[in-house]
Structure 1
């Protein structure tokens, strides 16, 4: 969200007063944040992860609370790396510069 490209996209698409300290997804001109973004992404993954998209029926405040809880505990559960992983060459087109 700090890159120049991301800032321009957010100016075009984000109408909220504050940006969440979270994941933002812009897909076909629509903006998704926090649990909405994660579940939208999951719905486009292969089986069995696509099933996570079904959780969109849960009210957003509940989903976002679970999302925040996972975000607070992710390093404890999965560890923390000293460096960010670089994308594979075949994934480069999926990332903003």
Structure 2
């Protein structure tokens, strides 16, 4: 499951990309703003007043920050699995890079007033 900021243009774009690449339908999605998304954020000790990370759940393991992106890409097969190379970066550098983008994502990529109306393909995989 991928829990993402539904009003973030960058986050929504990544979700659309994953839907397109995830031919085996491994992932389902929910927005962080939904009751389910907020509950999952709380369960994993994440803030629910500011969604500065995605939460990815794979086989019961929770991933945040850049590790969440790597976890998703790893499940999509080659060539996306090559994103695992990012794990060679020390965690403080990985998290710092992710946090810098996350804190500036609205300025860099924009934000919407509300969540998108999902495509038919995404609608079938959206929970909550």
TM-score, length-scaled by structure 1:
0.69
How many aligned residue pairs are there? 92
Gaps of 5+ in 1: none
Give, in angstroms, the shift of residue 44 of structure 1: 3.5
Matched, 1:85 2:116: yes
Gaps of 5+ in 2: 1-31
2: CA distance, partners of 1:42 / 1:56: 12
TM-score, length-scaled by structure 2:
0.56
1:25-82 deviation digits (Å, cap 9, x = unpaired): 1111111111111221233447765433320221222111100001122222222222
Max Rg structure: 1
Q: 2:57 aligns with which of 10, 16, 26?
A: 26
The CA RMSD over aligned residues, in Å, is 2.7
Greater per-residue helix proportion: 1
1:3-82 alignment to 2 at 5 Å? 3-6=34-37, 7=39, 11=43, 14=44, 18-19=45-46, 21=51, 22-45=53-76, 49-82=80-113
**In the alignment, is the contact (CA less than 8 A) between 1:35 and 1:60 conserved in 2?**
no
Where does residue 14 of structure 2 map in the other structure? none
